[in-house]
Amino acid sequence: MSTILLTGFLPFGGYQTNPSQQIAERLHGEAIGGARVVGVTLPVAFAESADLLTAAIAAHKPSLVISLGLAAGSTCLEMERFAVNLRVAERGDPALPQPRNAPQMVIVADGMTALFSTIDAERIAAAIAEKSDIPAQAHSYAGAYACNFVFYQALHYAQQWDLNYKAGFIHLPLTSEQARAENKMHLASLPLESMVAGVRAALEEAMREVN
C-alpha cells in the first residue's frame, strides 16, 4: 500500500490550536484513495520543519505529500498553485511572530524562483467543493513564511533527489470551534469536521493523479 504524508503545523502566532495539526492527526492511519495516511506535525520554524519533513519523506517514501497550514482570515480551503523561493515572516499580520531585522532570504540558493504544485490545484479544489459541503478554490500565494517554506521544500526535495511523489499544499481557515473559543468571530471559519471531510476529498482526488 502506498503512503500519503500529510503534514500539519503546531499552533503559532498567539493561536491556541492549529486546524492543520488537528486534521493531520485526525486522518493519520486512514486509508484514502488506496494509500495509508501518515500524519506528521511540524514546528513553525524554518530549519526544524525542513528537517522533520525530509526525514518523514525518507522514512515513509510517500507517493503523495500534502501539507496543511492555517491562513487565519481565509474564507475557504485554498489549494496553493505554487511555492516561491523566498523566506521572510509575513508583514502586516500582528498574529504572526515578527523576527527582529529578519532579512529577506531565498529558501534554496540557486533554486527556481517558484515551483508549481505537482497536483492540479484547480481540479482538486473543484473536487473538494463537489465531494464535501465546503467551498474551496485554487489560490496563488502561500505567503513567505513557514507554509510556503515547507511547500517549497517538498517540491524541491523531490526534484533534487529525483523522487516521484507529488506534492501540494492546502491553506485552511480557522475552525468555527476555534473562532468561538479564541474570540475571533470577526474572521471567517469553518467547522473542523467539514474541513476534515474537505481534506479527505482532496487526498482522494489527488491520489488519482498519482496512480
Cβ pair 32, 66 in contact under 8 A: no
For residue 84, the cross-strand partners are: 114
Segment near ligand PCA (CB under 6 A); pick from 25-33, 69-77, 190-198, 199-207? 69-77
- CA atoms of 34 and 136, how far apart (whole Å): 23
* Per-residue binding letters, 17-36, with ligand PCA (x by CB under 6 A): -x-x----------------
| 28 assigned to active site | no
Q: Specify the DSSP class assigned to residue 138.
A: E
Give the number of residues in contact with ligand PCA, rule: CB under 6 A: 12
Nearer to ligand PCA, 145 or 152 (CB): 145
- Residues whose CB is less than 8 angstroms from the CB of residue 135 and which lie 6 or more positions away in sequence, other chains included: 75, 76, 77, 129
Q: Does 71 bind ligand PCA (CB under 6 A)?
A: yes
Task: Verify binding: residue 199, ligand PCA, rule CB under 6 A.
Answer: no
**If binding is defined by CB under 6 A, does position 125 make contact with ligand PCA?**
no
Helix residue spans in 28-145 (DSSP H): 46-60, 121-131
Instruction: Find out whether 118 and 152 touch, Cβ atoms under 8 Å.
Output: no
Q: Is residue 76 annotated as part of the catalytic site, yes or no? A: no
Question: Which one of 31-39, 63-71, 97-105, 156-164 is the stretch in contact with ligand PCA (CB under 6 A)?
Answer: 63-71
22 alpha-carbon distance from chain centroid: 12
The answer to whether 69 contacts ligand PCA (rule: CB under 6 A) is yes
Residues with active-site annotation: 80, 147, 171
